[in-house]
Amino acid sequence: MASQIGVCSYTVRDFMTNKTSFRDCLKRLQELGFEVWQGGKAACCDSIPEMVDLLAEYGFKNITGSAGYDDLMSNLDKVISDAKAFGVQHINTPTLPLKNRVSAQGYEAYAKEMNEVGKKLRDNGLKLIYHNHAMEFANFPGGKNGMQILLDNTDPENFGFIMDTHWASAAGADPAEWVLKLEGRMDIIHFKDYAIDPNPEPQHIQDIGGVYKIFAEIGYGNINWKPIVENCRKIGVQYFVIEQDYWRGCPIEALAKSKKYMNDVLDIH
| Position 204 pLDDT exceeds 70 | no
Q: Is residue 60 very low, low, confident or very high in pLDDT (cuts 50, 70, 90)?
A: very high
E strands, the chain, are 5-8, 36-38, 61-62, 64-66, 90-93, 127-130, 139-140, 144-145, 159-161, 188-191, 193-196, 206-208, 211-216, 239-242
Average pLDDT of the segment spanning 63-67 = 98
d(CA 175, CA 156): 19
Average pLDDT of the segment spanning 218-232 = 98
Exposure pattern of 63-81 as b/e (b: 16+ CB <10 Å)? bbbbbebeebeeebeebbe
| Position 55 pLDDT exceeds 70 | yes
Strands 61-62 and 36-38: parallel
| Position 208 pLDDT exceeds 70 | no
Domains of the chain with CATH codes: 5-264 (3.20.20.150)
What DSSP assignment string belongs to 4-45? -EEEEGGGGGGGTTSHHHHHHHHHHHHHTT--EEES---TT-
Q: Model pTM?
A: 0.96
Indicate the average pLDDT of the chain.
Answer: 96
**Orientation of helix 76-86 relative to helix 48-57, angle to 10°:** 30
d(CA 147, CA 164): 12
Percent with pLDDT over 90 in the chain: 91
Q: Is residue 77 very low, low, confident or very high in pLDDT (cuts 50, 70, 90)?
A: very high
